[in-house]
């Protein structure tokens, strides 16, 4: 199909979008240190700006194709622009087929929105970072990594198959490791980078297994092929397609006997094998991959620690790129997930429990970035909950809106930290909200944008969060996967009736906690009295002014850091530069008004409301998957939507009102009293439910023990025995040989004499050697030749020889019946009259019972 610019099947603008961030990473990485900060900044921002412009043009073209398909009468148009770089590889597929994997990229409704978010929000974060990191020594390296991060994310979302997505998947994992540990001189940063890298590798295992399963059952790894063959994942009479979980592979356990002790392994064999469908196995493995990237239970622990990196990195990871990859993956393969109700309920409950757990931890944290980090984990839980119940559009819409308000919140926190860092150079203290307060008067733009984004995340009516998060809560109550409807069947197992209410209850409770802890952040940071230092005129010109902006953020220039006397008057904290403030304003505006793209909640009041642009835009992508989602009838669904909307509003009102009562009206006194009443519980929540400690005691210790064992084997066997002992033997041999190789002629002559003596002995002594060949019980023994040899065979060693005298017969043939044995003897006499003898016992095993031993006698 012809688009505005190119052919839909050969759309090179996709390559242009991909190449620009990669070009920026290359130029800044290779030449950045010599180019200087200004050139690095221009390069980084230029490639992002042009990439965003190209993404907008591609999106417009995609919309043009979609409109053309609608005009042509296509019911659910799924327009797609694609570009093939080259054929990557061909591998063997099922039934003798071949699976072709191309390095191909495509843009459809889903990846088109993601492309705009990644390049658009990424551009704003680049603008912000260009000022925030201005004093950092690794400025060029930072923007190299940042551009590379955006490139990897674009590969992930624009890849037209799972293998290409996996390349981007690993790329963002690598970039997160590099950026989180950007200040690698600090141990917490390096540790956080490693933690993110390792946690994501666990999830990657699931994604790799899912790719193998899809290749086997669907015979394809590209999006169109998987969608076309998804029904192959469902068992039927022609395709069993059940995967044995236990016993593995469907084999049988046999009892094992060792030293007379019988181990009854057959008892491990269940009467009925434990099985699951291929669709469930694929969905669970894909979800394991998603839990790693999108920080869900039990692999969420890396994301809060990721804030150890520079604040723009936190904004990029938490908002627009890496953490959304798991949600994107589930949405992209939604046609597979809806075939597996058991996997979907696992997804939904994992998301709900992650959201609740993270919200409880965020309640008591004092580090502003740490609260936002756990808030991200909680909101990701909402997204996973949404796609888990089959509300793919609602889940993806929360990805979209969350990108704006979470990026704004993190950058706003960075602006606050930038101001606090002017006097408090310690990272922990400058990020502690207990040292803040009253900043609304000193940082009005940061305050306004931060409050706007906070209203969005807590679901203030008519903001984007109200429409996206509350939509997920409502859908939780009225939707559930219907099983294998796509394959024309109904799943044997369906969701229990209580599941939706349980998920909905958790979601509402989490919404209440979200409103409380986010309002707590606003009140502690921007209201009340400023607690950072005494504001006033400095007694004398101070180095504070001199170093004001030199240390306005969390750089790694520790050698210049010093501790001011905060009791001495100092200038008030001030607003950040415009290069940092403008992105905040843009993001806040997008956060507030983005909800207009899918204001589904209005349908609660008017069933005829049809203005749902994103819902219509994504209908072609989720059309097949939504056919496998069950909805209650209209009246029940409407009544539940009303109940959910009221509950969500009450959760917002109670949470926000509670925080206002605690932190504004009572100056935090109720929170302190509660903390003193239940100190153990407070400490437990403050320590993040000690999940990290649990992992340290179990998984980490187990891996450490395995590593210690491997190290011991390496040092004891490989290094000591194989390497050192071998070296010792060689050295000893060399020492002996050095005694002989000493240049003394008579020693050499003596060695020659000994050698000749040995040869003479070998030729003078006869050798009674023979070989044995067997064929059907007939044995043929052949003696080895020698000078002047004569042979005498004894078919039975206890009886007389076959011949009286030695002769030249070198062979002896005999038959040994089944189950019997025979000892033969050979005597050899050489030309010098010397005789040698050798005995050999031949044992023939008894024939095994079976059909081959049955003889049929003819009558």
Question: Across residues 44-67, what is the average pLDDT?
Answer: 94
Written as one string, the DSSP assignment of 83-139 is EEEEEEEEEE-GGG-EEEEEEEEEE-HHHHHHHHHHHHHHHHHHHHHHHHTTT-TTH
> For residue 564, which of 421, 450, 665 has the smallest C-alpha distance?
421
Whether omega before 247 lies within 30 degrees of 0, making that bond cis, reads yes
Q: 186-190, 786-790, 853-857: which has the minimum mean pLDDT?
A: 853-857
Cα 158 to Cα 152: distance, rounded to the nearest angstrom: 10
pLDDT at 646 over 60: yes
Residues 6+ apart with CB under 8 A from 488: 231
180 neighbors 313 (Cβ within 8 angstroms): yes
Cα separation, 196 vs 179, in Å, equals 11
User: Distance (Å, rounded) from C-alpha 347 to C-alpha 343?
Assistant: 6
Contact 279, 340 (CB under 8 A): yes
Which segment of 443-457, 624-638, 745-759 scores lowest on mean pLDDT? 624-638
pLDDT digits (tens, 9 = 90+) for 330-371: 999 999 999 888 999 999 999 999 999 999 999 999 999 999
For residue 536, what pLDDT is reported?
77
**Is the model's pLDDT at 249 over the cut of 80?**
no
pLDDT in tens, 730-769: 999 998 888 777 788 888 888 899 999 999 898 888 898 8
Q: What is the pLDDT of residue 854?
A: 37
Contact call for residues 494 and 344 (beta carbons, < 8 A) = no
- Supply the pTM of this predicted model: 0.81
Q: Give the per-residue pLDDT at 485.
A: 54
State the CB neighbour count (10 A cutoff) for residue 194.
15
Q: Which residue has the tokens 């009225």?
A: 478
Residue 563 is predicted with a pLDDT of 56
pLDDT tens-place string over residues 786-839: 888 899 999 988 888 888 889 988 999 988 888 888 899 999 998 888 899 999
Task: Give the confidence band of 494 by pLDDT, cuts at 50, 70, 90.
Answer: confident
Average of per-residue pLDDT across 529-557: 60
pLDDT tens-place string over residues 513-527? 999 999 999 999 999
pLDDT score for 191: 85
**Cα separation of the two ends of the chain:** 82
CB 423 within 8 A of CB 532: yes
| Amino acid 571: pLDDT | 85
The whole-angstrom separation of Cα 220 and Cα 230 is 10
What does each C-alpha distance from 153 to 25, 180, 205, 798 come to in angstroms?
13, 16, 19, 85
């Amino acid at each position: 199909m012809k688009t505005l610019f190119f052919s839909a099947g050969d759309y090179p603008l996709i390559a242009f979008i991909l190449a620009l961030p990669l070009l920026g990473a290359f130029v800044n990485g290779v030449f950045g240190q010599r180019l200087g900060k200004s050139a690095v900044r221009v390069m980084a921002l230029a490639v992002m700006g042009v990439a965003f412009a190209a993404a907008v043009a591609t999106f417009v073209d995609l919309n043009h194709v979609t409109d053309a398909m609608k005009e042509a009468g296509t019911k659910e148009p799924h327009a797609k622009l694609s570009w093939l770089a080259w054929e990557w590889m061909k591998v063997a597929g099922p039934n003798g087929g071949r699976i072709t994997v191309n390095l191909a990229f495509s843009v459809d409704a889903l990846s088109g929105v993601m492309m705009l978010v990644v390049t658009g929000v990424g551009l704003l974060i680049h603008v912000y970072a260009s000022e925030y990191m201005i004093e950092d020594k690794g400025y060029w390296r930072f923007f190299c990594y940042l551009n590379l991060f955006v490139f990897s994310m674009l590969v992930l979302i624009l890849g037209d198959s799972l293998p290409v997505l996996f390349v981007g998947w690993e790329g963002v994992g690598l970039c997160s490791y590099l950026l989180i540990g950007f200040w690698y001189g600090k141990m917490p940063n390096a540790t956080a980078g490693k933690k993110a890298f390792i946690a994501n590798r666990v999830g990657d295992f699931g994604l790799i297994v899912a790719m193998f399963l899809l290749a086997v059952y669907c015979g394809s790894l590209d999006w169109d092929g998987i969608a076309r063959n998804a029904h192959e994942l469902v068992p039927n009479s022609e395709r069993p397609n059940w995967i044995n979980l236990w016993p593995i592979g469907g084999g049988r356990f046999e009892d094992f006997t060792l030293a007379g002790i019988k181990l009854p392994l057959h008892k491990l064999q269940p009467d009925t094998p434990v099985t699951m469908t291929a669709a469930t196995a694929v969905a669970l493995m894909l979800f394991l991959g998603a839990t790693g990237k999108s920080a869900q239970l039990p692999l969420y622990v890396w994301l809060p620690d990721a804030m150890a990196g520079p604040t723009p990195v936190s904004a990029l990871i938490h908002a627009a790129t890496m953490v959304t990859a798991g949600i994107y993956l589930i949405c992209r393969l939604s046609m597979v997930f809806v075939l597996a109700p058991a996997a979907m309920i696992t997804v939904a409950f994992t998301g709900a429990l992650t959201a609740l757990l993270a919200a409880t931890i965020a309640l008591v944290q004092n580090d502003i970035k740490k609260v936002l980090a756990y808030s991200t984990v909680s909101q990701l839980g909402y997204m996973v909950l949404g796609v888990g119940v089959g509300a793919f559009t609602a889940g993806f819409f929360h990805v979209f809106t969350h990108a704006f308000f979470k990026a704004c919140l993190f950058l706003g926190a960075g602006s606050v930290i930038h101001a606090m860092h002017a006097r408090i150079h310690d990272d922990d203290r400058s990020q502690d909200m207990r040292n803040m307060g009253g900043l609304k008067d000193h940082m009005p733009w940061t305050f306004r944008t931060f409050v706007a984004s906070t209203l969005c995340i807590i679901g203030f009516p008519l903001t984007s969060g109200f429409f996206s998060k509350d939509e997920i809560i409502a859908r939780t109550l009225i939707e559930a996967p219907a099983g294998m409807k796509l394959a024309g069947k109904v799943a044997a197992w369906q969701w229990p009736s209580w599941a939706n209410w349980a998920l909905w209850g958790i979601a509402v409770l989490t919404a209440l906690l979200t409103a409380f802890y986010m309002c707590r952040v606003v009140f502690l940071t921007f209201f009340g009295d400023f607690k950072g230092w005494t504001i006033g005129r400095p007694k004398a010109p101070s180095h504070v002014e001199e170093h004001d902006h030199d240390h306005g953020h969390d750089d790694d220039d520790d050698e210049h850091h010093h501790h001011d006397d905060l009791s001495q008057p100092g200038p008030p904290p001030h607003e950040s530069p415009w290069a940092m403030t403008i992105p905040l304003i843009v993001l806040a505006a997008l956060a507030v008004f983005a909800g207009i793209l899918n204001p589904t909640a209005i349908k609660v009041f008017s069933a005829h409301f049809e203005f749902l642009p994103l819902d219509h835009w994504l209908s072609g992508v989720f059309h097949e998957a939504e056919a496998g989602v069950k909805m209650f009838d209209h009246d029940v669904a409407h009544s539940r939507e009303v109940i959910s909307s009221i509950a969500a509003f009450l959760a917002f009102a109670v949470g926000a009102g509670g925080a206002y009562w605690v932190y504004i009206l009572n100056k935090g006194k109720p929170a302190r009293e509660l903390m003193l009443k239940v100190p153990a519980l407070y400490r437990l929540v403050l320590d993040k439910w000690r999940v990290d400690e649990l992992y340290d005691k179990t998984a980490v210790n187990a891996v450490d023990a395995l590593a210690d064992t491997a190290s011991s084997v390496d040092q004891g066997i490989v290094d000591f025995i194989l390497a050192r002992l071998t070296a010792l033997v060689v050295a000893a041999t060399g020492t002996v040989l050095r005694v002989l190789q000493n240049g003394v002629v008579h020693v050499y002559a003596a060695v020659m004499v000994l050698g000749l003596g040995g040869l003479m002995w070998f030729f003078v002594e006869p050798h009674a050697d023979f070989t044995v060949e067997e064929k059907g019980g007939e044995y043929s023994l052949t003696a080895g030749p020698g000078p002047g040899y004569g042979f005498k065979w004894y078919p039975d060693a206890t009886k007389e020889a076959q011949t009286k005298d030695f002769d030249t017969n070198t062979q002896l043939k005999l038959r040994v019946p089944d189950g019997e044995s025979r000892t033969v003897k050979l005597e050899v006499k050489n030309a010098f009259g010397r005789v040698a003898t050798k005995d050999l016992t031949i044992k023939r095993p008894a024939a095994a019972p079976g059909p081959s031993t049955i003889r049929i006698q003819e009558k």
